[in-house]
Amino acid sequence: MDFGLSGRTAIVCASSRGLGFGCARALAQEGCTVVINGRDESRLAQAAAALAPLAEKAGGRIVPVAADVATPAGQKALFAACPEPDILINNNAGPPFRDFRELTREQILEGVTANMVVAIELIQKAIDPMIARKFGRIVNITSGTVKMPLAGLDLSSGARAGLTGFLAGVARSVAPHNVTINFLLPGTFETDRLRANIEANAKKQNIDVAQSRQNRINSVPAKRFGTTEEFGAACAFLCSAQAGYITGQNLLIDGGVFPGAF
């Protein structure tokens, strides 16, 4: 299927690795010019080198921007590279696992800023040009814990749920202009972050890493972890011309972990 994205421009936040990289790759393969982003210049350069051939083959290109999207300077750098993106993928790492009793006010505010406020600020900058062009696709990568909160990830779940509620009304207000706002809720995907969590759990439980990994796989009905390729494909579809009638929705991609029917 041709997603109708050739020639479009996209900003993909935190895309030097992991799920963001998967989204950038999928959009590059559809012929978009993609601004990729990360704080580590070396890792970002590696990502750009890997993605550039895919983008060029499809008629697009890759523009790396080393910046912290949580800062005004970082946001300015992103929009200097792509002043009026057709597509905006919001993505940011969540706070570390921590008992809620240990959270200070400063840590709570930092978590809310990183996982709620930053996405809103970026959307504020991107939305009006999208409305004027009658095309815009905004995808926010949140977490499966928005639907199924986990103790210890309370700050991440709360901030991301806050973003979801905040944008629910915004999504309906811009829908007449062919601008959509949706959410991707990942479960366990094969990423550096997951591998680090598995290693930490192995140490905590005094078991080897292989057993810790298998235990985690066993908790997923699909009996495997997701891949960044399939996550990116879902993102690209939500950005496609064909997805213009989908907005304000939360797409849970977790291999069946969430037990509900709705």
State residue 200's pLDDT score. 85
Least confident piece of the model among 87-96, 166-175, 248-257: 87-96
Q: What is the pLDDT of residues 127-139, one digit of tens each?
A: 999 999 999 999 9
Read off the pLDDT of each residue in 213-218 and give the average, rounded to a whole number: 95
Q: What is the pLDDT of residues 56-106, one digit of tens each?
A: 999 999 999 999 999 999 999 999 999 999 999 999 988 888 899 999 999
CATH code of the domain occupying 9-189+228-253: 3.40.50.720
Helix or strand (DSSP H, E) at 178: none
Read off the pLDDT of each residue in 24-52 and give the average, rounded to a whole number: 98
pLDDT band at 141 (very low <50, low <70, confident <90, very high): very high
pLDDT more than 70, % of the chain: 100
Q: Is 155 helix (H, G, I), strand (E, B) or coil?
A: helix
State residue 64's pLDDT score. 98
pLDDT band at 193 (very low <50, low <70, confident <90, very high): confident
- Closest-CA residue to 191 (of 219, 218, 216): 216
CA distances from 114 to 14, 97, 210 (A): 12, 15, 32
The structure's pTM equals 0.95
Residue 196 has pLDDT above 90, yes or no: no
State residue 25's pLDDT score. 98
- Closest-CA residue to 50 (of 75, 28, 70, 72): 28
Helix axes 209-218, 192-205, angle to 10 degrees: 110
In the chain, CATH 3.40.50.720 covers 9-189+228-253
CB atoms within 10 A of CB 151: 9
**Mean pLDDT rounded to a whole number for the chain:** 96
pLDDT more than 90, % of the chain: 90
State residue 52's pLDDT score. 98
Spatial separation of the C-alpha atoms in residues 160 and 146, rounded to whole Å: 7
Residue 201 has pLDDT above 90, yes or no: no
CB atoms within 10 A of CB 192: 9
Q: What radius of gyration do the chain's Cα atoms show?
A: 18
Strand partners, 253: 186
State residue 131's pLDDT score. 98
